[in-house]
Structure 1
Amino acid sequence: MSVSDLTPKFVSPAHRLRDLLAGEGLVQIPGIYDPFSARAAQEMGFQAVALGGGVTVSVGYHVVPDMTMISTRDVIDVARGITRAIDIPLIVDFDDGGGNPLQVRHAVQLAEAAGIAGVMIEDTDFTYPKHTPPKELGKIMQFEDNHHLSREAAVQRIRAAVEARRNPATVIIARTDGALISKEESLIRMRLLADAGADVIKPTHFPFEDAAEAVEACGRPVMMVPIRLGSSTPQELEHARRGGVKLLLEPVPVSYAIYGAVIKTLAELKSAGTVAGDYSETVKFVQETIRYPDWGDLATRYQE
């Protein structure tokens, strides 16, 4: 028996993501914040994770709103640490992919080099701020002012992304915000983006109750996402399952749970001078997730 027969075969994260797309049923994908939350998601049995540009990289790593101020390189810088920590696929939100088709091409190749399995690229014109602040803080940002690329320009972005791949397994996810114009516009763009070679279509703002219509229109696996400060509702989850949606992205809960815990803990420490919580169980989970005992065994072995 050769050494190669004893060595486990490596399956790239991109191929793992392809396997998920080819499998049965709905796959729920949590947005994560950092390498630890990504590893925790893997340990809990999630089959893939996603890194959001707005709710996570903009807010958590640069402390700015989701108004087109971060770049694809900013996202990749965060993603590198995450892909080193997990075996499951990481999908990243690349917003406009950098802008023009040449920038999209370059960004996809940088993403592959960072171990990213799938990239999301949308049909919004980032010459303008993507979102505007809500009329009342604490609510979701406004989308009324979104500027859309022409259909032709949106197609060129996806063509560039598809042609840029060095690893043919890398998954290109084409997002359209066409539903902000009309449902019919969204359906037209879904078909065009699928014809351009996108592997997955993400019709953002599209009604969950009409998910089956989106799946039928594009002939590709469909990813859907709730637009709210929280996860999908039970009703949306059921619509996605019944409609044949393949990927359900949950970008918000983990990052905002982290922000909430930071705010609560710092406020308690500032006001009371002490924090009353007992973190023994949290510490235990952290130690298990970072594989503390395994590292201890290795340290002992190297001293022998």
Structure 2
Amino acid sequence: MTAIREKFRARVGEPGLIIAPGAADVLTAKLVEQLGFEAVYVGGYGIASVAHGLPDTGLVPVTELIAHAGAIAGAVDLPVIADLDDGGGTPIRIRHHVRLLERAGIAAFHLEDLDLGGGKHLGTDERLRPLEAAVANVQAAVDARSDEDLLVIGRTDALAAGRGLDEAIDRLGAYAEAGADLVFAAALHPSDVARVAAAVDRPLLNTFIPDAAAPDQLDTSERDGARIVVHSSSAFRVAYEAVRGLLVELKAERTDRSLGSWDTVRAQIDDTIGARAWRRYLP
């Protein structure tokens, strides 16, 4: 895992956008690898909704986020970028969780500055931690790692909390000064990437926003200075829509004839998971 981290840190310092599709499960992550992407993203929204049927509002323990991302990291030879939520919310908890995450083989993780007691993704007003406390959390994350190639990404949710772009930039600058290797402003629109990238002296990670007004946002984000764009929820959104469509058909028409050939799909899945390699261990 150290070699993967070392290579990924070097890659982040090179020109060219890194596109990291999101994966909420190992099979999707292996598809990401098979199709030639440079990294895979494991977000808290996917883990909460797909694995637990819960909203992404801090209900999944940090240790479970780490275990889920670690299972994916153990199954692919790609750097895994993980969502650590608030890391537990205090420096001592963050120190513990970063050490667990490092042992799990994660290459990079982001740490947010939301006070999760104020809600998240529930349509309520979101609260930020005071800047001093958020900076102390980033410093704890940086200090906790024993492998300097583990990338710490300082994340602010200032935009989602209604604080505006100026505060988001100020917070990212403070997290950079605290030692964060990259910065990430959640809900940053592609049209504002250039301003953030110019204002903060760290590589910028951004999320792909499902927005018909910005269909070329990967190209514009690269042009404007983003280093990594995570396509966080698209894969399991497609999976949800497909499974729901199948179940509607099965319920209404008592058939699954809209599906492709199972033999064909089974062969593709077996290829993705490397099933053939296991045959030699059979008697």
Q: TM-score, normalised by structure 2?
A: 0.92
AA aligned opposite 2:29: A
2:19 corresponds to which residue?
A: 28
**C-alpha distance 231-16 of structure 1, shift in aligned 2 (>3 A):** farther
1:260 to 241, 247, 252: 241
TM-fit CA distance, 1:282: 2.2
Where does 1:1-304 land on structure 2 (aligned, <5 Å)? 12-54=3-45, 56-132=46-122, 142=123, 145-179=125-159, 180-228=162-210, 233-276=214-257, 277=259, 278-296=261-279, 298-299=280-281, 303=283
Moved more, 59-68 or 246-255: 59-68
**C-alpha distance 232-126 of structure 1, shift in aligned 2 (>3 A):** farther
- State the alpha-carbon separation in 2 of the partners of residues 15 and 189 from structure 1: 27
- State the alpha-carbon separation in 1 of the partners of residues 28 and 250 from structure 2: 24
Deviations 1:68-120 (A, max 9, x none): 21121121221232112101011111111111111111111111111111111
SS of the residue 1:248 aligns to? strand
- State the alpha-carbon separation in 1 of the partners of residues 110 and 281 from structure 2: 40
TM-fit CA distance, 1:242: 1.0
TM-fit CA distance, 1:178: 2.0
- State the alpha-carbon separation in 1 of the partners of residues 25 and 241 from structure 2: 16
AA aligned opposite 2:194: A
In our comparison, the structure showing a higher alpha carbon Rg is 1
- State the alpha-carbon separation in 2 of the partners of residues 31 and 16 from structure 1: 20
**C-alpha distance 14-59 of structure 1, shift in aligned 2 (>3 A):** same
Moved more, 265-274 or 85-94: 265-274
TM-fit CA distance, 1:176: 0.8
**C-alpha distance 192-217 of structure 1, shift in aligned 2 (>3 A):** same
- State the alpha-carbon separation in 2 of the partners of residues 253 and 231 from structure 1: 14
Return 5+ residue gaps in structure 1 as ranges: 1-9, 133-141
CA contact under 8 A between 2:135 and 2:174: conserved in structure 1? Answer: yes
TM-fit CA distance, 1:238: 2.5
- State the alpha-carbon separation in 2 of the partners of residues 47 and 226 from structure 1: 16
AA aligned opposite 1:40: L
AA aligned opposite 1:191: G
Deviations 1:164-204 (A, max 9, x none): 00111111011112233021111111111100000110012
AA aligned opposite 1:167: D
TM-fit CA distance, 1:57: 1.1
SS of the residue 1:88 aligns to? coil
- State the alpha-carbon separation in 2 of the partners of residues 152 and 222 from structure 1: 22
Q: TM-score, normalised by structure 1?
A: 0.86
Deviations 1:107-148 (A, max 9, x none): 11111111111111011111222122xxxxxxxxx3x61101
Return 5+ residue gaps in structure 2 as ranges: none
- State the alpha-carbon separation in 1 of the partners of residues 27 and 212 from structure 2: 20
- State the alpha-carbon separation in 1 of the partners of residues 78 and 115 from structure 2: 31
- State the alpha-carbon separation in 2 of the partners of residues 289 and 219 from structure 1: 39
CA contact under 8 A between 2:22 and 2:231: conserved in structure 1? Answer: yes
AA aligned opposite 1:258: A
Deviations 1:6-34 (A, max 9, x none): xxxx7533223212202211111111021
TM-fit CA distance, 1:274: 2.5
- State the alpha-carbon separation in 1 of the partners of residues 163 and 54 from structure 2: 27
- State the alpha-carbon separation in 1 of the partners of residues 227 and 147 from structure 2: 22
RMSD: 1.9
